[in-house]
Amino acid sequence: QRRVREHAGVTVTRSVWVCCGDAGWHLLGNNPNFRNISLSECNQITDVGIQKMCSRLLLLETLDISFCVNVTDYATKFLAFSCRELVRLNLAGCSQLTDTSISYVSGGCHYLSHFNISNITKVTDKALRFLRRGCKLLQRLNVTLCPNITYPAIQRVESGGCVVSHSIDIKEMKLGPMLPLSETFKRPMSVGYGIYPIPRHVLLNSNFN
C-alpha cells in the first residue's frame, strides 16, 4: 500500500523562481514535504537542476516540467527512479526527450495515472509499448502532436482502459485499393497505419473522403 500523506501539497511556479538557474533548483529538494511542483517553460533548468531537485523529493506526486527544452533523457532517468510516487507527470514540449525517457518512466513510476508527452517529436510507438508494460494504473495519456506515434499503437493503449488524447485525424488516413466486398471479408484489411482484423460491421458513408 502507498504511504498515507501527512502534509498538504505545495505548488511552486516558475514565476517564483525565475532566473535562478540550476544553482537555485536544488533548494526545492531541501523540503521533502513538497507534493506538487510546476516548472513549466523554465529554460534555465537543465539535467543538473533536475537531479539536484529530485534527490530528496521522494514523495513528490505531481511534476510539470513541460517545455523545459534543455532537459534530456538523463534527467528523466534520475527523476523517474527518485520520484517513484509520481501520479501526474507533464513532459510536454521537452523536445530533446526520446523513447528512452519513457522507458525510464515506465520502469520507475508505477503509480502514474496522468502522463503528458505531447509535442515531443522523437517519441515513437516504442514509447507506448513501454507504458503498457510498466504503467498499469495509467488513466490518461496525451500524445498530441507526436508525429511518430501511430493510431494502432494508440488503440492498444486504449484497449487497457486508458484515455488517449491525440491529433491523428482518422478521416485523413489513406485507404488502400478498393476490393470487392466478398474479398474484404476473407482477409484482414490494411487501413492507413497498420493491419486491422476482419471487420464485424461495415459502415457505408458516401461523405467519407
Confidence at residue 9, expressed as pLDDT on a 0 to 100 scale: 46
Confidence at residue 186, expressed as pLDDT on a 0 to 100 scale: 45
Minimal CA–CA distance to 73: which of 129, 123, 133? 123
pLDDT digit string, tens, across residues 3-21: 333 334 445 543 334 335 6
Confidence at residue 99, expressed as pLDDT on a 0 to 100 scale: 98
**Exposure b/e, 116-143, CB count within 10 A at least 16 = b:** bbbbbebbbbebbbbbbebbeebeebbb
Please check the confidence at residue 171 and state whether its pLDDT lies above 80.
no
Confidence at residue 54, expressed as pLDDT on a 0 to 100 scale: 86
Torsion of the alpha carbons at 58, 60, 64 and 69, rounded to the nearest 10: -10
Confidence at residue 160, expressed as pLDDT on a 0 to 100 scale: 94
Q: In degrees, to the nearest 5, what angle opens at C-alpha 65 toward C-alphas 59 and 68?
A: 150
Please check the confidence at residue 170 and state whether its pLDDT lies above 80.
no
Confidence at residue 39, expressed as pLDDT on a 0 to 100 scale: 85
The secondary structure of 170-202, three-state, reads: HHHCCECCCCCHHHHCCCCEEECCEEECCCCCC
Answer yes or no: are the C-beta atoms of 152 and 141 closer than 8 Å.
no
Confidence at residue 25, expressed as pLDDT on a 0 to 100 scale: 65
**What whole-number percentage of the chain has pLDDT above 90?**
53
Please check the confidence at residue 191 and state whether its pLDDT lies above 50.
no
What average pLDDT does the structure give for the chain? Answer: 78
